[in-house]
Amino acid sequence: MKLERTPKGLYSPEFRAEAVKLIEKTGLSVDRAAKQLSIPKSSLGNWVRAAKKGQLAEVGKGQGLPSEQELELGKLRKELAEVKQERDLLKNLRRISRRSRGEIRPD
Q: What angle in degrees, to the nearest 10, is found between the helix axes of 13-26 and 30-37?
A: 130
Read off the pLDDT of residues 35-85 as tens digits, 9 standing for 90 and up.
988 899 998 999 999 999 988 888 877 666 677 888 899 899 999 999 999
H helices present in 1-107, as ranges: 13-26, 30-37, 41-52, 68-100
Instruction: Report pLDDT digits (tens) over 4-44.
Output: 444 556 788 888 999 999 899 998 899 999 998 889 999 89
